[in-house]
Structure 1
């Protein structure tokens, strides 16, 4: 059993009285009639009727599963939702990430993989109701809990309060978001039957006026369906809001018993709902891989349902923190999240079936009044030939054709850089350059990880624990460079207001502040990568200078299939496929592979790029074989050994470090 890092799982216990009282919920339930054909003549949406939910005049139980559209390639949305429906579930829940939909202040994006309306309509098409969780704060192991980083340009910003600078931004965002989702509510013929007000605010609870403000902001813009709150055990008492149904997030049966007692005191006899039953847990770089046994999942889900409670499986399918969208935790130590959001969920990161799926489908099927849909076939996967990079560009050469740097007397944190229409930099890396003429002790506060160079010579790394480094004797004028990586902003806790990244404050050499900086923004997004045109690459015929960008080619002869990227001999960096940012890799584990959706590959040649932040772990020649890789201990029923794309660093002596959890 894993030791959970934040929300710990108490010992398993459930009162027999609670089970006996609520056994009637086990009668057979027929969801087979749900579909777009029922979108007419609606009068009464989902509501609380005593201890039960009702939809129109019929008793209703929510059997939900969480799938996040922004973590799943759009081409696979239907596959994941059909699998959810075939598991015996009737409701989809999804968060809405503000930071992705408004990447720059006043600029909104609901296209492509962020087409929320299309995702909701697809859910209805396959026969699912929808519970929408629009935030504005969503947690969800997303950078800054889904709040846009440009909010932090305001030095007085107080997130998740009625501070004017925050509410004005929320109001504008909700103006755009609600125009899209209000027509998709049940009363308007759509599948949305409930909307959540914020997220786990009882654990934050810094402003008693904030939750009433969010409730009113939703209702004033046309949200008319059942409103919910969602809190863990510690925040439930503080998270209750008048006129809003309270629900709880948990993982153990003993929490359910306590939750029922607290709710009875807080809101009387109302329907019970576990908004998040955690089917697994997320991983952090350098930590273990968390696993929750499928039998324990089945036992707890069964107990929750037998107790008369509706339930949502968080996660049903976790997906991937593509690019840099993953968050972090920071209690005693700073712990950034891995790229995979596999979560040890009901479906794997690649959307494949697990023992949890099989057991839960049998359980929910036993209550169904009609046969469940047949589960879709698995999407095919394959092993491709290893890719050896053929071209490279050093970061120092790339500075000549990237965006011009910002010049500043003092360092400027990432969010306050005067770029992107006044919205600063949200993700990626920031390079700070200045000139020094003396040796000594360099002191800097970097967030989160800073590599220090003299000209192109690497001196060492600064981070949360190491704030100083010795500068050796220099001759004349020397360029000092600090390459700072934003590893992910904290998404949960009291310190979200302090999540500015880059260099914070001054850089000191022998206690004197350095001045006159050039600051380069390296966002590693599509527009950044498009600057690497064919004429910029050099043949990889000699030992490259690091940090650097590498380019190779993957040949796909017929239909592209899903695979996994394994980087033996590479230490830390980012991988790109056809200018899509797959995310970070780091040899400290526990994640050992990056998921590569076949939907992002083309027939023919595909560009495979990598940006390692430091020298390879060993030099020279042949490509390694394929390795099984993957997250240690995962219950997989789909992937045969060897279905991985190994990217070779031209390394002959590969150093391994395995983290199996």
Structure 2
């Protein structure tokens, strides 16, 4: 059968595989052309193909998370998505960023979700919204706010009242904002996901019905769908909601199962994993481009819809990375980069995958694809020399008032942030000892503690090292434990157990330590600003002290360009540029550079502050491209 040609005025098309050849179907109007007064049908799943406005429609989607991309680059990334031949944007909504403290909401600037939806519509992209409340996403606690864990009886992702009340409060805010951007209201949102991969969790058979009703009761009228891997499909569904599958290697058994439970319904790979995430101390994962594109081609040949997770990964800026754990194994934190080996790199570069996919998707569009936008320019600055330093101990007066407590108190239960506790960063626990001996963490360190006696480094306690020997000394001595939240587990059945800091007793010679002074070191912008402007910095001629802060100035002559920070000779810490937390670095790799986007620089002098835990170098280096370390193919 020959190809039936349609008017070039049609913006989107679908190629359906039929006996004898390919048929090109006209799809729908441009998302920006949808009228609020339209009576046309939105996305429907009433037959073996999706329909939109009553016409066959195939979702060619890709995930880009607004919270992982500097706002100044949103348009650049979405234009590159459109130029690749995709018609649909998918994004999660991170509850922990939008409600950092209970009933204190933020939807501004980098978190302007409505602005992101408006931008997608203006560029001609439909949207599938994934509002959670749990999102996984290799994000701290799967996007759930840590203040939920202040409740000792909390049962996350269930209908436990303490959780449902918090979800309802959050949905009152977020769903109210996004409902006007639904297709039926003239907006780009054509579908909404009900929770995320619940079949892999499945702790409460009533939970998914609760989330579905929470969406419907707040005005969601578009198509609802779920997303699960094959094992989760059997437990993650909810009546009246389309189930979609997640995989990387072609999963024929899962596709067959979808046919069995949803006969004569459209099939969609909601998450086709274009790459994979990386863990500290591991290797950088790659999914060969030819292998990846071959699977996408087969998905399309079979008539299915697809969403590339990720199309563009971006970055886990700040302390937002999650952690990975299987069963009872110790969690391993994710790296700062979320490059994901995606078609569009962490810095927005085109990859081999991008070009191969563009060639493939061009066959599923009647009109020529837009020209690809130009790539951002790069600059490898000359190394900058550290000019001043400040020990951690000398910075404590810039933090909030410390807590005195007989016993250790975990981060989340600290009486700070309007009694919402501490969410991220470091916590310093100090007490007094009168002898040496064996210090035993009793596996109550979450996740990693630097141990000091009289502020001299002794060693590290973590999931593997539970004991340290302390030498005897005269009189009273101070014992300090600087504990880092390395990232909460984002997937699995241990979400309720992700309290950080010191979560129980620490023993010296089998006796629990008591009488602590506890300092919160969240390193929020306010603290970094106070640090930057304080007059207590010391020159580099004075003895360096770790852990500590190191200050340098980067002078940019001309328009700022993207760059990458390299820290050879440093060990582990965090980098701040003009007060912006770029994320963690760690010499164990695999990641060896930090992405510094140009919108966070300005012409002239830029302030650089490095918090280093153990070993500082005298300079900071730059590169024009990333170094993600030694690679390994995704298994």
User: TM-score band (shorter)?
Assistant: over 0.9
Q: Which stretches of structure 1, 4 residues or more, deviate above 4 A after TM superposition?
A: 19-26, 29-33, 623-629
Q: CA deviation at 1:627?
A: 5.8
Conservation of the 8 A alpha-carbon contact between 1:25 and 1:306? no
Aligned to 2:482: 483
Aligned to 1:219: 216
Conservation of the 8 A alpha-carbon contact between 1:289 and 1:631? no
Secondary structure, counterpart of 1:239 in structure 2: coil
* Worse-superposed segment, 336-345 or 373-382: 373-382
Q: CA deviation at 1:172?
A: 0.3
Conservation of the 8 A alpha-carbon contact between 1:46 and 1:54? yes
CA shift digits 1:197-231 (9 cap, x unpaired): 00000011110000000000010011110000000
Q: CA deviation at 1:545?
A: 1.0
Aligned to 2:626: 630
> Does residue 285 of structure 2 align to residue 290 of structure 1?
yes
The correspondence for 2:400, drawn from 399, 403, 416, is: 403
What is the alpha-carbon distance in structure 1 between the residues aligned to residue 264 and residue 173 of structure 2? 36
Matches within 5 A, 1:43-62: 43=39, 44-62=41-59
CA shift digits 1:495-534 (9 cap, x unpaired): 1111000001112111111111111110112112112114
Secondary structure, counterpart of 1:51 in structure 2: coil
Q: CA deviation at 1:624?
A: 8.1
What is the alpha-carbon distance in structure 2 between the residues aligned to residue 66 and residue 25 of structure 1? 30
Aligned to 1:341: 338
Aligned to 1:571: 571
What is the alpha-carbon distance in structure 1 between the residues aligned to residue 60 and residue 97 of structure 2? 28
Conservation of the 8 A alpha-carbon contact between 1:575 and 1:610? yes
Are residues 26 and 421 of structure 1, via their aligned partners in 2, closer, same or farther at CA, if it must alter by over 3 Å?
A: farther
Q: CA deviation at 1:400?
A: 2.2
Aligned to 1:423: 420
Are residues 23 and 474 of structure 1, via their aligned partners in 2, closer, same or farther at CA, if it must alter by over 3 Å?
A: farther
> Does residue 268 of structure 2 align to residue 273 of structure 1?
yes
* Worse-superposed segment, 467-476 or 550-559: 467-476
CA shift digits 1:32-61 (9 cap, x unpaired): 941412334422111112101111111111
> Does residue 144 of structure 2 align to residue 132 of structure 1?
no
Conservation of the 8 A alpha-carbon contact between 1:405 and 1:520? yes
> Does residue 228 of structure 2 align to residue 231 of structure 1?
yes
What is the alpha-carbon distance in structure 2 between the residues aligned to residue 243 and residue 35 of structure 1? 26
What is the alpha-carbon distance in structure 2 between the residues aligned to residue 376 and residue 177 of structure 1? 32
Q: CA deviation at 1:474?
A: 1.9
Q: CA deviation at 1:314?
A: 0.5
Conservation of the 8 A alpha-carbon contact between 2:27 and 2:55? no
Conservation of the 8 A alpha-carbon contact between 2:565 and 2:620? no
What is the alpha-carbon distance in structure 2 between the residues aligned to residue 568 and residue 105 of structure 1? 40
Matches within 5 A, 1:81-230: 81-230=78-227
What is the alpha-carbon distance in structure 2 between the residues aligned to residue 591 and residue 226 of structure 1? 40
Gaps of 5+ in 1: 1-18, 633-657
Q: CA deviation at 1:441?
A: 1.1
Q: CA RMSD in A?
A: 1.7
Secondary structure, counterpart of 2:535 in structure 1: helix
Gaps of 5+ in 2: 1-14
Conservation of the 8 A alpha-carbon contact between 2:26 and 2:55? no
Q: CA deviation at 1:258?
A: 1.1
Are residues 479 and 179 of structure 1, via their aligned partners in 2, closer, same or farther at CA, if it must alter by over 3 Å?
A: same
Are residues 109 and 20 of structure 1, via their aligned partners in 2, closer, same or farther at CA, if it must alter by over 3 Å?
A: closer
Aligned to 2:451: 452
Size of the aligned set, in residue pairs, is: 612
Aligned to 2:256: 261
What is the alpha-carbon distance in structure 2 between the residues aligned to residue 229 and residue 25 of structure 1? 32
Conservation of the 8 A alpha-carbon contact between 1:123 and 1:129? yes
Normalising by structure 2, we get a TM-score of 0.94
What is the alpha-carbon distance in structure 2 between the residues aligned to residue 161 and residue 25 of structure 1? 48
The correspondence for 1:306, drawn from 301, 315, 318, is: 301
Conservation of the 8 A alpha-carbon contact between 1:42 and 1:56? no
Secondary structure, counterpart of 1:290 in structure 2: strand
Q: CA deviation at 1:401?
A: 2.5
What is the alpha-carbon distance in structure 2 between the residues aligned to residue 408 and residue 191 of structure 1? 52
Conservation of the 8 A alpha-carbon contact between 1:441 and 1:470? yes
Conservation of the 8 A alpha-carbon contact between 2:563 and 2:622? no
The correspondence for 1:372, drawn from 369, 372, 377, is: 369
What is the alpha-carbon distance in structure 1 between the residues aligned to residue 450 and residue 21 of structure 2? 58
Secondary structure, counterpart of 2:254 in structure 1: helix
Aligned to 1:542: 542
CA shift digits 1:533-570 (9 cap, x unpaired): 14132211133111000000000111000000000100
Normalising by structure 1, we get a TM-score of 0.90
Aligned to 2:523: 524
> Does residue 557 of structure 2 align to residue 557 of structure 1?
yes
Aligned to 1:28: 24
Q: CA deviation at 1:383?
A: 1.1
Secondary structure, counterpart of 2:552 in structure 1: strand
What is the alpha-carbon distance in structure 1 between the residues aligned to residue 460 and residue 200 of structure 2? 35
Are residues 276 and 600 of structure 1, via their aligned partners in 2, closer, same or farther at CA, if it must alter by over 3 Å?
A: same
Q: CA deviation at 1:237?
A: 1.2
Q: CA deviation at 1:595?
A: 0.2
Conservation of the 8 A alpha-carbon contact between 1:388 and 1:552? yes
